Amino acid sequence: MPPASQSGKGPIAVLTKAARGIGSFWDRVSDGLAIHTLWAQFFSEAHASYSLYQREVDWEALRKVSRFRKFFKVSRLLFWAMLMKLSPSRRVFLLIVFFFLMSFALEFRPAGIPPEPQFLIAIGGLVFLLALELADRVTMKRDLEIAREIQHWLVPQSPPRVPGVDIAFSSRPANTVGGDYYDAFLLQGIPGASSSPRLLLVVADVAGKSVPAALLMATFQASLRTIAKTALSLPELVARINDYACEHSLGGRRFTTAFFAEFDPVTRALTYIRAGHDVPVLRRSSGEIERLEAGDLPLGITSGKPFVSGSASLRSGDLLIIFTDGVTEAVNSQDEEFGEFRLLQVLETIPAENATATLARLTSIVTAFTGTARQYDDITWLIVRVE
């Protein structure tokens, strides 16, 4: 009979198998992330959750309260803020669980209930409540994933093929769904104007976050695509979209910032309208930086008004960078914003390469800056290089 070590059942083999099992379990739980990444992610999520609850605390009213009383008042307010996030039935259930926990801690013994079952009932109740909340979250996550797929269909998957123009775009929502929108497509010709097809470039940012912003983004896409089918000049098109946005803006509370640009590939003339959006950057082939600032109020504020337009003449090698405020407002773990100044510094030194490579470079620079910090706004780019 061979020794245990030779038969594969010795202590070393058992320990090796156990270590592999533990490693497999840890990889499954952690998704293969490093400890420092997990900790940074947990800290970021905890900070975001605290920010959600602390909004319901009137900090101004607590300034005159002593430090001792302030601690208990803040604790009570945060407890109520968390409790009220639950449904009424789960609030009552949680209070019952807390009763069993407190009675165990204070050694209060209700008749007929020994101490150990009290503790087990409390822990079991917390686990059961956690399971209910997780079930809700899984259901919501599934619905949001479907909404994300639908939203993915609303934006172009690949840029249009236009001679002499190289286009790249991307959008990264802060949540499962977002309120940013980008588009690029050819317009129908205007009677009496140039016969060459005009390229429409659009980047928009709906006020708000997550599902409400995503729903408004869908209505913006529908109105843009519908109105763009008519032969209109850029100012007329934007005015029509603005009138539609005003009808669905809830009194101006749900406005949209946007940048519209119309480019003629033959003459290389660019006409644009900036509706309250972040100022795009035009980097000339010489390295000179220009800003496309001409614009007005966001969409959905005032109906029946003309929008101010601007123009520029593009040349071979010029680079147009359109982005949303999620880029400049991207934060790192020290709550420091990426900022417009840093973006301009990057664009001043960026090498001459195709639009896809430029997009990848800019995205990696912003991602390296933010690290594992949680972002609170969508990040969207639309890059155009004239060949």
Domain co-membership, 252 together with 312: yes
Residue-level pLDDT at 117: 73
Interhelix angle 115-154/210-227, nearest 10 degrees: 10
Query: Does residue 206 sit within a domain?
Result: yes
Q: What size, in residues, is the chain?
A: 387
Residue pLDDT, tens place only, 58-85: 777 777 777 777 777 777 887 888 888 8
Domain co-membership, 122 together with 252: no
Domain co-membership, 250 together with 379: yes
Q: How many domains does the chain have?
A: 2
Query: Does residue 63 sit within a domain?
Result: yes
- Final residue belonging to a domain, choices 154, 185, 200: 154
Confidence of residue 2 (pLDDT cuts 50, 70, 90): low
- Final residue belonging to a domain, choices 109, 131, 154: 154
Range scoring the smallest mean pLDDT among 14-23, 114-123, 196-205: 114-123
Share of the chain above pLDDT 90, in %: 31
Query: Does residue 22 sit within a domain?
Result: no
Domain co-membership, 120 together with 213: no
Q: What is the DSSP letter of 333?
A: T
Residue pLDDT, tens place only, 18-33: 788 787 887 787 777 7
Range scoring the smallest mean pLDDT among 21-35, 99-113, 147-161, 246-260: 99-113
CA dihedral angle for residue 121, residue 127, residue 128, residue 133, rounded to 10 degrees = 150
Residue-level pLDDT at 5: 47
Query: Does residue 23 sit within a domain?
Result: no
Range scoring the smallest mean pLDDT among 30-39, 161-170, 239-248: 30-39
3 state SS of 323: strand
Rg of the chain's alpha carbons, rounded to an integer?
Answer: 28
Nearest-CA neighbor of 384 among 181, 166, 169?
166
Residue-level pLDDT at 258: 94
Q: What is the pTM of this model?
A: 0.74
Domain co-membership, 190 together with 326: yes
Domain co-membership, 145 together with 183: no
Domain co-membership, 94 together with 232: no
Query: Does residue 25 sit within a domain?
Result: no
Domain co-membership, 175 together with 148: no
Domain co-membership, 220 together with 167: yes
Domain co-membership, 102 together with 221: no
Query: Does residue 30 sit within a domain?
Result: no
List, in order, residues 6 or more apart from 332 with CB less than 8 Å away.
338, 369, 370, 371, 373
Confidence of residue 194 (pLDDT cuts 50, 70, 90): low
List, in order, residues 6 or more apart from 71 with CB less than 8 Å away.
none
Nearest-CA neighbor of 347 among 181, 199, 310, 338?
338
Rounded to an integer, what distance in angstroms lies between the CA atom of residue 343 and that of residue 113?
65
Residue-level pLDDT at 49: 75
Domain co-membership, 343 together with 313: yes
Residue-level pLDDT at 96: 85
Domain co-membership, 143 together with 192: no
Rounded to an integer, what distance in angstroms lies between the CA atom of residue 355 and that of residue 58?
48
Q: Provide the residue range defining the domain that includes 85.
A: 59-154
Rounded to an integer, what distance in angstroms lies between the CA atom of residue 32 and that of residue 27?
5
Residue-level pLDDT at 279: 95
- Final residue belonging to a domain, choices 107, 122, 154: 154
Residue pLDDT, tens place only, 332-356: 888 899 999 999 999 998 888 999 9
